[in-house]
A = this chain, B = another copy of it.
Amino acid sequence: MSSAAFSSISLDPGCFGKGETTIRKRDGRRLCIRGSVASSPQSLQFANTKTQKSEEIVRIGVLGASGYTGSEIVRLLANHPNFGITLMTADRKAGQSIGSVFPHLVTQNLPDMVAVKDADFSNVDAVFCCLPHATTQDIIKCLPKQLKIVDLSADFRLRNVNEYEEWYGQPHRAPELQKEAIYGLTEVSREEIRNARLVANPGCYPTSVQLPLVPLIKANLIELRNIIIDAKSGVSGAGRGAKESILYTEIAEGIHSYGITKHRHVPEIEQGLSDASRSKVTVSFTPHLMPMSRGMQSTIYVEMAPGVQVDDLYQQLKIAYEDEEFVILLDKGAVPHTRNVRGSNYCFMNVFPDRIPGRAIIISVIDNLMKGASGQAVQNLNLMMGFPENSGLLYQALFP
């Protein structure tokens, strides 16, 4: 991170003046933030809801603010101590206020939406890019180079641009940027993310699958063949676009599989597992759409390596995640429920013996809009900016 990259952070180690606060970075350096914002949690919190934040904090642009991942970024930043939104784009909602597009955010004092072509990036330090795939690569190409970017689209997730073309049906138009992009599965690639300018935020399904499987594969505890993933997602993953297939009447009180063998998150999952195993992994992946707005469960059926017991898997996951704030291995036997992470950035997981000897069942749950999208994006930008990784993310699940 360069101190020149954005105006709000000073690396001056001597900054103990009035109205400044020291943030201890993991590497021991300290950051200082100027302004009254940091001096008192109370005034900060009033500020978050009723007044604009100090201009000295990191200035954030949200590109594509009229979708669900965009509004989730806004929700999270409402209480983020270091990020303040100075730009919001939404082409079809240009000129509208956040309150007219998302009435649940009506109390937020934010700039009106503008078309992305009219966006002024001169007072923006970092952006969350919540645009559709394909559009994204064209827009990110044109952004000022000093901006930090977390891209929530699929455009920079696949390292192999041929694979991108195969799954997305068109050539990649920003292969150079692709090379620069860091895949942002936070717990797996924390150090690279810390130093990244452009982070490709993982998809929701790939997050829920890789978090449990990567440590197990790295430790050679499970077979790479016949990994079977039966995933269940809430509807918000399909976005806010008007489609018959996601009307209330078409979704309530039922379930169905979709995208069988063809879901675009498959190559992303296989890329991550192949990286972990250093060999090509092909998975069986079947997503299901069900009547919940938020939430995702991956039920993963695996064969254990010879001689491995379920407890070995449990211990490996424990080692991998015991110091992590957002990845929680439940007590043995406890079953993760999606409801228990709703609205939070947590991934809950556990591992169970199968009836068939030598097999195990792994279950992980996330909120697809949080750890599966906007929550992990904030987590990543926190890292990129040198803030505590959990800043703005301290939400317990909303239950019931």
**Interchain nearest-CB distance for A230 vs B (Å):** 4
Question: Is A328 interfacial (CB-CB < 8 Å)?
Answer: yes
Knowing A249-B293, A288-B299 are in contact, say whether A21-B49 is a contact too (CB < 8 A): no
Q: Assess the B340–A104 pair: CB atoms within 8 A.
A: yes
Chain B, Cβ-Cβ closest to A333: B260
Chain B residues whose CB sits within 8 angstroms of the CB of A398 once the complex forms? 75, 294, 342-343, 398
Which residues on the B side are within 8 Å of A54 (C-beta)? none
Q: How far is the CB of A18 from chain B (nearest CB, A)?
A: 10
List the one stretch of A121-129, A157-165, A168-176, A236-244 in contact with chain B.
A236-244
CB < 8 Å neighbour of A390 from B46, B106, B244: B46
Binary contact readout A17-60 vs B (1 if CB under 8 angstroms, 0 otherwise):
00001111000000000000011111111101110000000000
Contact B251 A50 (CB under 8 A): no
Residue of B nearest to A357 (CB): B282
Q: Is A7 an interface residue (CB 8 A)?
A: no
Q: For the complex, is A252 an interface residue (Cβ under 8 Å from B)?
A: yes
A85 vs chain B, min Cβ distance (A): 13
List A210-259 residues whose CB lies under 8 Å from chain B.
225-226, 228, 230, 232, 234-236, 240-244, 246-258
Q: In the complex, what residues of B have CB within 8 A of residue A41's CB?
A: 21, 38, 41, 44, 81
Task: Let me know if B105 and A266 touch, CB within 8 A.
Answer: no
Q: State whether the Cβ of A137 lies closer than 8 Å to any Cβ in chain B.
A: no
Instruction: Report 10 cross-chain contacts, Cβ distance below 8 Å, ordered by A residue.
Output: A24-B42, A42-B387, A50-B325, A103-B337, A103-B348, A232-B232, A240-B250, A257-B361, A260-B361, A286-B361
- Min distance, Cβ A187 to any Cβ of chain B, angstroms: 15
How many copies altogether?
4
Across the interface, A253 reaches (CB within 8 A) one of B106, B252, B346, namely B252
Other-chain contact of A394, B79, B226, B240, B334 (Cβ < 8 Å):
B79
Q: Are A355's CB and B81's CB within 8 A?
A: no
Report yes or no: A252 in contact with B400, Cβ–Cβ below 8 A: yes
Say yes or no: A282 contacts B248, CB within 8 Å: no
Interface set, chain A 358-400, CB cutoff 8 A to B: 359, 361, 363, 365, 387-388, 390-391, 394-400
Query: Are A337 and B79 in contact, with the CB atoms below 8 A?
Result: no
Contact A244 B248 (CB under 8 A): no
- Give the CA-CA distance A75 to B282 in the complex, in Å: 41
Number of interface residues of A (CB under 8 A): 112
User: Is B232's CB under 8 angstroms from A352's CB?
Assistant: no
A301 adjacent to B284 (CB under 8 Å): yes
| Contact yes or no, B42 A252, CB < 8 A | no
Q: Does A107 contact B (CB under 8 A)?
A: yes
Q: Is the CB of A242 within 8 A of B247?
A: yes
| Nearest CB in chain B: distance from A24 CB, A | 7
**A314 at interface (Cβ–Cβ under 8 A)?**
no
Least CB separation from A358: chain B residue: B226
Interface residues of A in 283-334 (CB under 8 A from B): 283-286, 288, 290-295, 297, 299, 301, 325, 328, 330-331, 334
Which one of B107, B290, B339 contacts A328 once the chains associate, using CB atoms below 8 Å?
A: B107
- A87-113 vs B, CB cutoff 8 Å, 1 = contact: the mask equals 000000000000100111111100000
Most buried by B among A46, A236, A248: A248
In the complex, A21 Cα to B275 Cα: how many Å?
A: 48
Q: Are B297 and A330 in contact (CB under 8 A)?
A: no
Cβ contact within 8 Å between A248 and B291: yes
CA distance A236 to B251 in the complex (A): 12
Residues of chain B contacted by A81 (CB below 8 angstroms): 41-42, 45
Task: Tell me if A68 and B299 are in contact (CB < 8 A).
Answer: no
A315–B48 alpha-carbon span in the complex (Å): 26
Return chain B residues, CB-CB under 8 Å to A290: 232, 255, 290-291
